[in-house]
Structure 1
Amino acid sequence: MYRKGITPCRVGLTIFGVDLFPSYDVIDPSSPTAQKLAQHIEAVKQTETGWDRFKTIFQRDDYGNLSPEMDGALSAGTAGLVIGLLLGGLPASKKGYEEFILRNKATSFENHFQAKDKLQFNVTKTMAAGGWRVGWRLGLFTGAYTFFTSAVATYRNQNTVFEYSAGGLLAGAMYKFPMGPKAMVAGGLGGAVLGTAAGAISVGVMKLTGTTTEELRYLRHGWKEAKTRELITESPRRAEAMGILALAHDHSLAQNKSSINEATQTKSEESTNEDVEKAEKKS
């Protein structure tokens, strides 16, 4: 339910004022948390420089977490590595299988188990080599592209196609660095073309949704800090839940203690009865 007089903030896809993909995550702009976050953002905007924003990429927050930009670059690099392993490994395994069959048509094995073992080893080795050959390159390029794009956008605090083109240029040049200056130029141009295409799509989506890089950057930092703070601090609901769990735990301990006491008492009574019977027999 919306409170009267308050316009909720939505995060969704809106084109020409038409809410195509609405988000039901409503943010109350009059809440103390939202107001403090807005005041903090405005104060930081007025005082910080491009170099100050760039340095925050390499800084950890009060809870030891990486910055959203660095975390995004590492996530992109990891995703590129995994996708590259699949793209390079699957075709390589098929090729290794076919080559093994061709090479060993006239080879005699002791039994079919030995042939299957050698085939499996050859296919696995070929798949690992082919997957790594493509995976580390794709992971390096995607991670570097994401990092350079975020770094340029953070420094300029703007959202244009230029940031993506510059990120692709730097990533492509770094990717071809071991091959010499000519390869760096070719790689940089290729990366710039890919970055420009990706930038046009990203900027177009942001225009459609009505968001900017500045808003996303500050909100990502604010949301990450708020999420971390919520996880490590006790809220009333968390305290209530922990209270219920603690009560259940104490009740379980009490039941176990009662069972142990009853068992101990029963054993002591049995031993006492045995002593009495022995004494009566002796008398």
Structure 2
Amino acid sequence: MIGNNSSTDNNNEADFTDQPHEHFVSAPTAWLRLKSIFLKNEYGFDSFEWKAVKNSTLFTFIIGTMMAGTAELPLAHQRFKEQHSLSLFANKYEAIRRLQSHLLVSFWKSGIRLGLRIGFFTFSYTCALACLAAYEDQLKGFHFVFSGALAGALYRINMGLRASFAAGIIGGVLGLCSSAVIVCPALFISKKSLDEAYKQVRDQHFREALQAIKNNNEICGIQKQFNVSKWEARAILKARQQEQLLTDPSLNVSKN
């Protein structure tokens, strides 16, 4: 089956010449679909859900770190001036070096703290959303609310049950808002249902990843055949794909 099922086969040596189809096929049972989120499939690439979880977590971690670190710089600069108002430095270069070191430490110390917290919330939210969608093999509106509530509850679990419950309510509201403000308008514009859009994007991810593996295998073959560099082999492959498009415009050949 072509889907998110795990396999120990090496994708670099995969043969695609006699595949029955090149579209995503879900696992037959809910638990297999849930398990397949976190495992590489038979071609060796991550599932769409897991890739989305990793990318969104990394993105929010970076954004949170940059925002908190940048906001901390003026305060750190002021603290340095107050703490060293009576200090004597050997020269101005030493003072500048000490100031830069202080600002750098303050930036990362404050930034990473907030980045980790936001990243954890995003990971909890997107992971819960992915698990619900994979388990039911469809994406529903209430999944956003439930995932937000769960992420909020986990975010404040260390502060006790009352704080966790309150954060869960806030997280559920945020999940509802994200669905109403971002998802619904996008679906209205595309004229697709939530589940249709989810499965279309998931299938597109599968086909693009499969095409990338095909291209990589072809590039390796061109390198061995003509004894050229990887960049030259990639150029040859692109020329071949463009020639195929000119011959048959109906071919949807990826140019990755």
Task: State if a TM-score over 0.5 links the two structures.
Answer: yes
Gaps of 5+ in 1: 1-34, 250-283
Q: CA deviation at 1:180?
A: 1.4
The structure whose Rg is larger is: 1
Q: Does 1:209 align with 2:183?
A: no
Partners of 1:211 and 1:133 in 2: CA distance:
39
| Aligned match for 1:228, one of 190, 209, 218 | 209
Alignment of 1:113-152 (within 5 A): 113-152=93-132
Aligned residue for 2:89, secondary structure, equals coil
Aligned residue for 2:130, secondary structure, equals helix
Partners of 2:71 and 2:215 in 1: CA distance:
51
Instruction: Answer yes or no: is the 8 Å Cα contact 2:139–2:198 preserved in 1.
Output: no
Q: CA deviation at 1:120?
A: 1.2
* RMSD (Å) for aligned C-alpha atoms: 3.0
Gaps of 5+ in 2: 1-19, 230-256
Query: What's the TM-score once normalised by structure 1's chain length?
Result: 0.64
**Aligned in 2, Cα 1:248/1:113: closer, same or farther, shift over 3 Å?**
closer
**Aligned in 2, Cα 1:248/1:106: closer, same or farther, shift over 3 Å?**
closer
4+ aligned runs moved over 2 Å, structure 1: 35-38, 47-56, 153-161, 210-235
Corresponding residue number in structure 1 for 2:55:
75
Aligned residue for 2:102, secondary structure, equals helix
Q: Does 1:176 align with 2:159?
A: no
Partners of 1:93 and 1:248 in 2: CA distance:
50
Q: CA deviation at 1:135?
A: 0.6
Partners of 1:169 and 1:193 in 2: CA distance:
8
Aligned residue for 1:208, secondary structure, equals helix
Q: Which has the higher contact order (CA 8 A, sep 6+)?
A: 2
**For each residue in 1:236-277, what CA deviation from the matched residue of structure 2 results, as whole angstroms up to 9, or x when unmatched?**
xx58x939x82878xxxxxxxxxxxxxxxxxxxxxxxxxxxx
Residues matched between the structures, number = 208
Residue identity over aligned pairs, in percent, reads 24
Aligned amino acid, residue 233 of structure 1:
K
Aligned amino acid, residue 204 of structure 2:
W
Partners of 1:179 and 1:85 in 2: CA distance:
23
Q: Does 1:191 align with 2:179?
A: no
Instruction: Answer yes or no: is the 8 Å Cα contact 2:60–2:119 preserved in 1.
Output: yes
